Amino acid sequence: MEITRTAPLRLAVIVASNRAGRFGPVVADWFLDHATRHSDFAVDVIDLADPATDLPTALSYDPPPAVRDRLAKVSPVLAGADAFVVVTPEYNHSFPAALKSLIDWHFTEWQAKPVGFVSYGGLSGGLRAVEQLRQVFAEMHAVTVRDTVSFHNAHGHFDEDGRHKDPTAPDAAAKTVLDQLAWWAHALRDAKSARPYGG
């Protein structure tokens, strides 16, 4: 019997911090090493520190040409994704403004797709930002997976080459998040192919 192979799931990893001197790329690179080796996913990266993704906080139904150009670069990546991972710090008990702008400029791109989180910060490990993001993505008709990867006092966990000093637990957490995302992404993609989402 011939086995039908399905196309790989497209995973968009969003690096949420655009702050000067940010620690985000260290955490993102660590996670991307896991994501790119996961058999279910083909990975795209959206880095909100890239000027091409700099979206204004003031929304518009008729954005100016410069904003249209930026949306033309990022919107198709979001639309083509089957799942998302947000790599986010915690700023003042919440998540970065650049991430909120990215979310708010889009709607159908998030619908009926799973979202996972990798967070980092001080004592809270970015988890307060994640809890707020769960509410925002619920409004976007997205499904957030239960487990997360969280780095408390993140700077102390990585060496100068960006390698985690004690990787056993975070490696297992990354695998759990990716496995949950793959399950939901396959299930939702199959469901949408049989019946359009009614959102």
- Tell whether 58 is covered by a domain: no
- Tell whether 199 is covered by a domain: no
- Tell whether 69 is covered by a domain: no
Specify whether the CB–CB gap between 86 and 24 falls below 8 A: no
Residue 4 clears pLDDT 60, i.e. is over it: no
Whole-model pTM: value is: 0.94
Structural domain of 141: 9-17+26-44+76-193
Return the pLDDT at 7: 84
- Tell whether 128 is covered by a domain: yes
pLDDT band at 70 (very low <50, low <70, confident <90, very high): very high
Return the pLDDT at 25: 96
- Average pLDDT of the residues in 61-89: 97
- Please, how many CA atoms are within 13 Å of residue 181, restricted to the half-sphere of its CB? 33
pLDDT for 139-155, tens place per residue?
999 999 999 999 999 99
- What one-character DSSP code corresponds to residue 58? S
- Number of residues that this document lists for the chain: 199
How far is residue 152's CA from residue 78's CA, in Å, rounded to a whole number?
29
More confident residue, 14 or 198: 14
Return the pLDDT at 199: 73
CATH number at residue 132: 3.40.50.360
Q: H or E stretch including 142?
A: none
- Tell whether 53 is covered by a domain: no
- Tell whether 70 is covered by a domain: no
Residue 29 clears pLDDT 90, i.e. is over it: yes
Number of domains observed in the structure of the chain: 1
- Tell whether 60 is covered by a domain: no
pLDDT for 117-127, tens place per residue?
999 999 999 99
- For the chain, what is the mean pLDDT? 95
